[in-house]
Structures are given as structure tokens and as C-alpha cells.
């Protein structure tokens, strides 16, 4: 099951040229670029691991692209996303976030139904991948 | 104008590059088989920057000639691409050597503009750094620091001032070597992404290159900045004053004419920078003089003019 989180996630995966163009757009807006990765694909997992510090004062996408490929090399079987932060409000706000790498096989989610008071049902989802301990998922 | 000659030389070469029966692989069908170098030149606006360079910088003949050569090379490279001839992009890392105050930083800034107009670098900004920006203070600090600077410079020009400080032979545990290695790697692998310019005084740069042959061999262009002649320094002084909206009275012009050769003989002479300092001190004395004199309110003229006495009060005349 292809995970759809962030911008462009309903499109086919972006090519490197497209990623570069998006980063160039973000830099032209004066946004900083951060790269993050995770192996826990739950949609409520906001806190991904940071790949180095966010990159401020870049002028060209080449610098960010070298970090994207370095992160892919180190964590090929994880989700990697590029975030663009806007500091216009006085704090860094995420203005753009899109996935640039995903594991080869994405097993998807288990839908759990909890029966609570009477006939009421509460639903929750659990990632099949996240059932293995951290670091042993998607291997 | 004979300074235009490289440009004319390129136009002359059109027939050769564009020859339809050129040997080797046939160009792809999409590529044109003829290129108008004149149109390419006009398209890039590079002549404007080059003419500006000529007009605004005094002297530096060999440097200007070299920059024109590089501009011609890049234009021809672009033309070759249009007709479908492939040959990796030329290496444009440079070293600027010369005495203090000979215009290395100024030319580097222009170089970034020129390379941008010619499409060799994508953004055309200049990131000027020294050893402190590249080398860390403890183990593991240098690599991230250098990489961050390199990332910021990508798409433009990285200008490393006083580059010889990167290498300190007297301290074998110095982290400068690590910075050099990272630099080398990027200079080699990401030639399309940035141009590195190393600058420094001639003699120390030579020792630096001798102890880092890897670096020296990756730098294609060694530009040597000659010292200015006294006449050129006078021209520079005039241009500086113009920029600051001052002017010299005839007696001050005569004083400056004497001042320059005398200053050149003194120790720590730093070409244009010494001239700038001398002018700054003259401004100081002018202000003092205007304060001391009693009389009618000052006109625009009095506020603009530097008199001979302002310059002659200098230590150099003692």
C-alpha cells in the first residue's frame, strides 16, 4: 500500500529532477530545507528523525540534493521527506513537505476494531511494518 | 578596439565549429548544425560585464586578458553543446595570487557574475570564506563545517581568502588537512555545482600548492595579479574619491603625485588598500581643518575639496 503523506503523495514518485525543481522553488521563496527519515509510517507520527541540521542560507538545490542522496545511501529502506520551513512568522513553519524516498515494499496497515460500551466500535490502525522493533523494519 | 579581439576571434571560429562534415559521431538530429556565436555572445550579455570590468578596474592587464579567454572558452563550449558535441564541462577552479590590495576579491566577485551570465554557474553568488569558516576546533567538527560552507556556495563561487592558512605543516594534527580533502572531493565530483577560487599572496600560495599537489593539479587557471604602477594608483585614487563624492584641489593632486612613490617605498605597502587608507586619513584631516577655520558658512565646494595640506600632513613626507 503506497503511503500518501505530504504534498504530491497522490502523484507517482517524484524524479530527482522534479525534487530538485521543488527545492529550488522553496529556496526561491526564502525557505530553509530540512531532511527527515523514519521507519514508522503511521500518519500520526510527526516526529521523524532529522538528517543533519536544517539547511539555512542555501542558494541552489545542489547542496540539499547531496544531502538527500547521502540520506538515501545511509537509509535506503526508510521513508525520507524534504521539509521547507518558512520563518516569516517569527518561527519556522513547515510550508512544504514531500516524500522523496520510500521502502521497496510497503505492507500497509491493519484496521483494528475495539468494541466498547454497547454496540459502539472504535477504530484504530496499526502499521504491519511497525510490528518489528525499530531498525528491523523493511529489511 | 583591440580588447574586443577574443570576441572577434570566436566569431571567426564559427565556420570551423559549425562545419557540417565534422568528423566523429554525427550530431543528434535535434541539434542544430550551425551556431551563431555572435548571437550567443549577445544573448549572454557577457560583453557588458567584461566592458564594465575594463572600465571600472584600473590596470590588471594580464588578469583581464585571462578572463576574456575564459569567457571565450565558455561561449565556444556552449556552441559545441548546441551542435551536439559532448566533452565534459571544463574545470574552472582558479587560484588568484598577488600582493595585498591588488583586487583579488573584487575580481572574484566579477568572476561570479561572468560565470553566471555564461551559464556556467546557476546562481552566480559569491561566498567568501577564510580558514575559520572551514576548519573546526575539535575532532569531528571540521567535516560538517566545511560541508555546510560548500552547500551554501553551490550554484555559485566559493572564494577562499588566504587559502594557505588551511595547511599548517608545523602541526601534524591540524584539522586543515581534513578540510582540504573534502574540498578536493567536491571540486572533482561536483564541478557543475560550484567553482572554487583560492586566493593569497604569491610566495605563500606557492608553498601551499607544493605541499598539496592534489589541489594544485585540480586548478586549471592560475591568475597572477601584478602590483599597480604609480600612475594606475593615481587613477584608482581618483575613482575612489569620485565614489565618495570628494575631489582633489590642484595642490592636493600634486601632493598625491608625490605621495604615491614615497608610500610605495615604505614597508607594509598594500597597493590600492594603502591608497584607500591614505585618502581616509586625508578626509579626517580635511574635517579637522574645516572645524578649525573660522569664517562664513561652508559651501558644497569646501565640503567636497581635499586640499594639498590635508595630504602633506602625512607621515610619509617627513
For residue B170, the model assigns a pLDDT of 83
Min Cα distance A64 → chain B (Å) is 7
Which residue did the predictor score with more confidence, B1 or B74? Answer: B74
For residue B1, the model assigns a pLDDT of 37
Which residues in B lie closer than 8 A to residue A58 (C-beta atoms)? 151-152, 154
CA dihedral of B292, B293, B299, B304, whole degrees rounded to 10: -60
Give per-residue burial for B211-227: e unless 16+ CB within 10 Å, then b.
Answer: ebeebbebbebbbebee
- Residue B71 near residue B221 (C-beta atoms within 8 A): no
For residue B32, the model assigns a pLDDT of 63
| pLDDT at B3 exceeding the cut of 90 | no
Contact B156 A62 (CB under 8 A): no
| pLDDT at B24 exceeding the cut of 60 | no
B244-289 per-position pLDDT tens digit: 899 899 999 999 999 999 999 888 888 999 999 999 999 999 999 9
Is residue A66 less than 8 Å (CB to CB) from chain B? Answer: yes
As a whole number of angstroms, the distance between CA B15 and CA B3 comes to 22
Question: At CA B265, angle to CA B62 and CA B54, rounded to 5?
Answer: 25
| pLDDT at B12 exceeding the cut of 90 | no
3-state secondary structure of B102: coil
Longest dimension (CA), chain A: 60
CA dihedral of B143, B178, A73, A97, whole degrees rounded to 10: 20
CB pairs under 8 A between A and B: 38
Contact B125 A59 (CB under 8 A): yes
| pLDDT at B5 exceeding the cut of 60 | no
Contact A60 B150 (CB under 8 A): no
Q: What is the pTM of this model?
A: 0.80
| Nearest CB to A62 within list B125, B144, B190 | B190
Contact B152 A52 (CB under 8 A): no
As a whole number of angstroms, the distance between CA B68 and CA B107 comes to 13
Q: Quick one: what percent of chain B has pLDDT higher than 90?
A: 33
Which residue did the predictor score with more confidence, A38 or B9? Answer: A38
- Residue B53 near residue B70 (C-beta atoms within 8 A): no
As a whole number of angstroms, the distance between CA A127 and CA A137 comes to 11
Is residue A59 less than 8 Å (CB to CB) from chain B? Answer: yes
Nearest alpha-carbon partner for B101 in B315, B296, B276, B283: B276
Which residues in B lie closer than 8 A to residue A59 (C-beta atoms)? 123, 125, 152, 154-156
Q: What is the mean pLDDT of chain B?
A: 83
- Residue B187 near residue B228 (C-beta atoms within 8 A): no
As a whole number of angstroms, the distance between CA B179 and CA B167 comes to 9
For residue B74, the model assigns a pLDDT of 85
List beta partners, residue A94. A85
Edge-first strand order for the sheet with B157-160 is B126-129, B157-160, B195-200, B94-98, B221-225
Q: What is the mean pLDDT of residues A16-43?
A: 94
3-state secondary structure of B194: coil
As a whole number of angstroms, the distance between CA B184 and CA A13 comes to 34
ipTM of the complex: 0.82
Amino acid at each position: 500500500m503506497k503511503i500518501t503523506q505530504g504534498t504530491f503523495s497522490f502523484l507517482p514518485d517524484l524524479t530527482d529532477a522534479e525534487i530538485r525543481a521543488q527545492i529550488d522553488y522553496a529556496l526561491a521563496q526564502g525557505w530553509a530545507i530540512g531532511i527527515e527519515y523514519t521507519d514508522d509510517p503511521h500518519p500520526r507520527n510527526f516526529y521523524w528523525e532529522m538528517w543533519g541540521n536544517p539547511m539555512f542560507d542555501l542558494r541552489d538545490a545542489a547542496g540539499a540534493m547531496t544531502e538527500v542522496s547521502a540520506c538515501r545511501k545511509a537509509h535506503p529502506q526508510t521513508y525520507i521527506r524534504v521539509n521547507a520551513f518558512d520563518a516569516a512568522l517569527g518561527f519556522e513553519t513547515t510550508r512544504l513537505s514531500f516524500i522523496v524516498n520510500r521502502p521497496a515494499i510497503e505492507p500497509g496497515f491493519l484496521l483494528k476494531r475495539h468494541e466498547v460500551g454497547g454496540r459502539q466500535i472504535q477504530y484504530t490502525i496499526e502499521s504491519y511494518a511497525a510490528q518489528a522493533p525499530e531498525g528491523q523494519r523493511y529489511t | 578596439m583591440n580588447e574586443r579581439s577574443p570576441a572577434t576571434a570566436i566569431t571567426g571560429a564559427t565556420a570551423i565549429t559549425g562545419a557540417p562534415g565534422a568528423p566523429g559521431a554525427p550530431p543528434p538530429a535535434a541539434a542544430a548544425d550551425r551556431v551563431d556565436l555572435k548571437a550567443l555572445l549577445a544573448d549572454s550579455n557577457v560583453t557588458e560585464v567584461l566592458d564594465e570590468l575594463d572600465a571600472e578596474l584600473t590596470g590588471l592587464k594580464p588578469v583581464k586578458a585571462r578572463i576574456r579567454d575564459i569567457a571565450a572558452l565558455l561561449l565556444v563550449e556552449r556552441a559545441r553543446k548546441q551542435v551536439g558535441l559532448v566533452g565534459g564541462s571544463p574545470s574552472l577552479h582558479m587560484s588568484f595570487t598577488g600582493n595585498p590590495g591588488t583586487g583579488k576579491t573584487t575580481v572574484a566577485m566579477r568572476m561570479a557574475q561572468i560565470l553566471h551570465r555564461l551559464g556556467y554557474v546557476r546562481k552566480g553568488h559569491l561566498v567568501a570564506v577564510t580558514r575559520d569558516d572551514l576548519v573546526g576546533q575539535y575532532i569531528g567538527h571540521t567535516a560538517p563545517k566545511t560541508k555546510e560552507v560548500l552547500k551554501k556556495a553551490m550554484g555559485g563561487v566559493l572564494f577562499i581568502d588566504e587559502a594557505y592558512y588551511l595547511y599548517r605543516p608545523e602541526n601534524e594534527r591540524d584539522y586543515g588537512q581534513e578540510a582540504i580533502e573534502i574540498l578536493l572531493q567536491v571540486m572533482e565530483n561536483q564541478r557543475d555545482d560550484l567553482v572554487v577560487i583560492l586566493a593569497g599572496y604569491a610566495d605563500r600560495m606557492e608553498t601551499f600548492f607544493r605541499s598539496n599537489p592534489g589541489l594544485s593539479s585540480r586548478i586549471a587557471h592560475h591568475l597572477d595579479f601584478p602590483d599597480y604602477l604609480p600612475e594606475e594608483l593615481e587613477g584608482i585614487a581618483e575613482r575612489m574619491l569620485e565614489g565618495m563624492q570628494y575631489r582633489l584641489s590642484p595642490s592636493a593632486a600634486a601632493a598625491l603625485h608625490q605621495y604615491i612613490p614615497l608610500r610605495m617605498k615604505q614597508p607594509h605597502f598594500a597597493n590600492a588598500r594603502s591608497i584607500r587608507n591614505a585618502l581616509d586619513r586625508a578626509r579626517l584631516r580635511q574635517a579637522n581643518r574645516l572645524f578649525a577655520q573660522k569664517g562664513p558658512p561652508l559651501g558644497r565646494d569646501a565640503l567636497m575639496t581635499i586640499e594639498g595640506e590635508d595630504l602633506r600632513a602625512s607621515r610619509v613626507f617627513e
